[in-house]
A and B are shown apart, each in its own frame.
Chain A
Amino acid sequence: MKVKLKVKRTDPEKGITGYSQYTLDMHDSATLLDALISAREYEDGSLALRCSCRSAICGSCAMRVDKRARLACRAKVIAITGGDEEHEILVEPMGNMPVIKDLVIDQESFWTKIRQVDPYLQPAGPVPEGEYRVPNEAMLDLTHTMNCIMCGGCVSDCTVLEVDKNFIAPAALAKAYRFAGDPRDGHTVERLQKLSEYGGIWDCTRCNMCVEVCPKGVAPMNRILQLREMAIEAGITNNTGARHTAIFTKSIVDGGRLNEVWMVPGSVGMFNLPRIMTELPGALKMLRAGKLPLAQVIPPGAPGSHKMKGMDRVRNVVRKSAMLKPKKAEVTD
């Protein structure tokens, strides 16, 4: 089959960027990596990319393919083009990291963030003579996260990192879960405290981009959500993120639907007047546009707060849903 590639090029020595186009003759089952290697080996020796294992375990060949981060070795050409030989595949280096040359990016910021989460087991107490005795479910759960090959795809396409370089970003937070969720680790609470700070778990917008682009099913955002749940359960709630969740949940449990008016004061803190004041001009504009729901001016939980019909039945569901909670995994003797 014919494969057409349009590859973004960066030559750091000449300081120029541009695109190269390649038309290659490949077998029908070729991956994008096969095509790129063929281009590099037989058409253009100056094309730089990283690759090694060809089977999605080394994490070298992450790049943007038609605007989304993917592993080139896991991207079958035919699946990208739908069999349309005229589809020109756009290949670019990953985002959110500086380019060294062509498709090779500098991953140092990625690793700095990984190191920020204290990425090593910190056991509590003496190390046992044999193995730790822990439930298989816990190990299986962590194995999904250990599936991460540090390719950087999630970091490349993270929508928060685009606007804030301080965000620890999905890969490192998933790595953090691998320890916080490890029953053998003895520093869970300290980890969760650190992760609840600025740039940590609460700065994720939950856009699912990392879940979408992760080639290994790690679903980093879902790990971030697990960390949020663990942090709240550990009582680390003196932060905007945890308060936001609390007031949100309270408003649903109280009235069935979201009370939008009280989300800001409930999240930033009732007495955080400077922060509340920043919202005032916006609130006035909303009021003028008829977008400030006056039925919600009474805070959730207070007498006279707005309630949906049939709230007693909802409250029953809230109470009973506690029995759905799974058991926590621990080391046993």
Chain B
Amino acid sequence: MAVYEHDVLVIGGGLAGMRAAIAAQQLGADVAMVSKVHPVRSHSNAAQGGINGPGVGEDGGPWEEHAFETTKASDYLGDQDAITVLAQDGGGEVLQMEHWGVVFSRKPDGRMAVRRFGGMGKARTFFVGAITGQAILHVLYEQLMHPARFQAMRMYEEWFVTSLIVDDGQCRGCVALNIRTGELHAITAKATIVCTGGLGRVYEPSTNALICTGDGIAQAYRVGAPIMDMEMVQIHPTTLKGTGVLITEGARGEGAYLLNKDGERFMQKYAPNMMELASRDVVSRAEQTEIDEGRDVDGCVFLDMRHLGEQLIKERLEEIYEIARDLVNIDIAKELLPILPGVHYIMGGIKTDVDGLTPVPGLYSAGEAACVSVHGANRVGANSLLDTLVFGRRAAEHAVPWLKGKVFRPIPESVVEKDRAMIRGILDRPMDGDRVARIRRDMGVSMSANVGIFRTPERLNKQVEELKALRARYEKVGVEHKGKVFNTDLLFHLELGYMLDCAEMITKSAIERKESRGAHTRLDYPDRNDAEWLKHIVLTKQPDGSEKMSYLPVTITQWQPQERKY
């Protein structure tokens, strides 16, 4: 059993992780990356519609505009110092991607084209067809394949992190399982950057990939890092009927309509100015209201792209065209697409400052796993990619100078033993008739039913009980397969543990926030209540294992909260 030692350990190979790894390496650090899937399999792929580019030419617009729109969309829960950093640094990141080779769509004059996204006052979103995330993810991996980087960097590919190591108050890397051999190792580092993405699979259905199981958030929580804004779960307005697959906001950006069963553009009633391009929480609530009031067909409303024309659809929305054709056999150029709101993104996560640093020295986080907070109560479209790049880079740029010359005591091999015993315990458990998959499904379905768009104390309290029962089942459930090589049965068991942690944090925070703000809608407290709730809810695990709930004030610099209308 080897103990590996590095300067910087990046956990997660998506956009935030790769951006952090490249930045750390550019500063001369010895960098390692551990990821449970190959980097190009990461969920950053799924961001289809685009990336906001504040400050990039005239189209990107002044950074202040972007920052204000982000703040407003966050329902004023976003921290304005962080949002300012996002908006000021964002343009440079977009241009960096262009210079590294992202094939951004162009205007006739050869400059990068923009499309309009929800919650934005004007078109300022740069894009690559409907594969923006994929294109950026692959270009970052191209950069990692450069021999100078590739040979200098250690990739722990298809390694699954079982826990973070904290020693003497410092985060010192992780324990991880090599999926191909089944062996556990300690991968130690002076700085650890958690870029493990979101937790969408806590809900069923969800737009998220099967790997989005909140691992990093739960691991950070377990070592005492504060977790913030967990009640803020973004419900995306357009997910495909029956599959939960995401249909990009870019479709509405290109002019698609939302229709109810009567063919009415119902957004007129809810957001007469911005219509379909109102903020995501607003549109999702509108759809759910239409559905709940019976103006649906089979639980869905419709996305109408017929008027966009086949040429535009194939040039700019090809991915959507194919998904609709292949998964539901619908030609979006000629037919209506049945859609419904679906869980998409977690605004909350590991609390960090604007340099990705958590209160635990040596522990950083960036991307969806982190909560800086730039998204507040509702993330605006095309800000997620921007968030990963800006804060992935900043975390590395803070960590590398910080760790220079620091010497820590060696981590003994024995740190691995705790996890090894934990895994042995799972493998040794007899099958009791229950299954990990069944518990996961029951968790997902109950979370969707009880902690979804419209929340009530009854439903939330019911979910607390549900989760207790699920936790009890989880403590007893075993795995069928006992092998070492590629034992996904075991991995799903571990992931379910992370997801239950996250589900509990979401539910507790949702019970606590007694107002409606952004994605969090309480039917018993329908209004925003700045007097009492203009603050973050923070959950921190104490050394004795108990949990502390606390509050952090929202940082307001120049935009005072006002009523939010679209």
Contacts and interface: CB of A to CB of B under 8 A. Distances in A.
Interface of A: 11-13, 29, 31, 40-42, 44-46, 48-60, 74, 76, 100-102, 104, 107, 114-115, 119-121, 123, 127-128, 130-136, 139-140, 142-143, 146-150, 179, 182, 184-185, 332
List of 3 A-B pairs having minimum Cβ-Cβ separation, nearest first: A45-B480, A133-B110, A121-B101
A1 B536 CA distance: 49
B328 interface: yes
A94 to B, nearest CB: 14
Contacts of A101: 483, 485-486
B467 interface: no
Interface in B97-123: 98-101, 103-113
A100 B180 contact: yes
Nearest to B126: A131
Given A60-B37, A143-B128, A149-B134, A184 B106 contact: no
Contact of A120 (B108, B145, B209): B145
A129 B146 CA distance: 23
Given A12-B485, A13-B483, A59-B40, 6 more contacts: A46-B481, A52-B210, A54-B243, A107-B38, A134-B106, A332-B110
Nearest to A140: B315
Contact of A131 (B111, B129, B243, B489): B111
A146 B180 contact: no
B105 to A, nearest CB: 6
Q: Is the interface of A mostly helix, strand, loop or mixed?
A: loop
Interface stretch (B135-143, B300-308, B360-368): B135-143
A134 B98 CA distance: 11
B45 interface: yes
Interface of B: 37-38, 40-43, 45-46, 56-57, 95, 98-101, 103-113, 128-129, 131, 134-135, 138-139, 142-143, 145-147, 150, 180, 209-211, 242-243, 245-246, 315, 319, 322-323, 326-328, 435-437, 479-481, 483-489, 492
Contacts of A179: 101
Which interface residue of B41, B56, B487 has the most chain A CB atoms within 10 A?
Answer: B41
Contacts of B104: 131, 139
A135 B110 contact: yes
A52 B43 contact: yes
Nearest to A106: B180
Contacts of A48: 485-488
B314 to A, nearest CB: 10
Contacts of A76: 326-327
18 contacts: A13-B485, A29-B328, A46-B483, A48-B487, A53-B43, A54-B243, A58-B45, A59-B40, A123-B99, A131-B104, A136-B106, A136-B108, A142-B103, A143-B105, A146-B103, A149-B40, A149-B45, A150-B40
B145 A42 contact: no
Given A42-B437, A46-B480, A120-B101, A133 B209 contact: no
Contact of A54 (B108, B139, B146, B210): B210
B270 to A, nearest CB: 28
Nearest to A101: B486
Contacts of A104: 486
Contacts of B43: 52-53, 58
B105 A184 contact: no
B422 to A, nearest CB: 19
A185 B100 CA distance: 10
A90 B242 CA distance: 26
A53 B485 contact: no
A143 B110 contact: no
Contacts of B134: 57, 146-147, 149
B101 A182 contact: yes
Given A46-B483, A120-B142, A147-B131, A53 B45 contact: yes
A59 to B, nearest CB: 6
Contact of B57 (A49, A59, A100, A130): A130
B105 A121 contact: no
A131 B112 contact: yes
Nearest to B431: A45
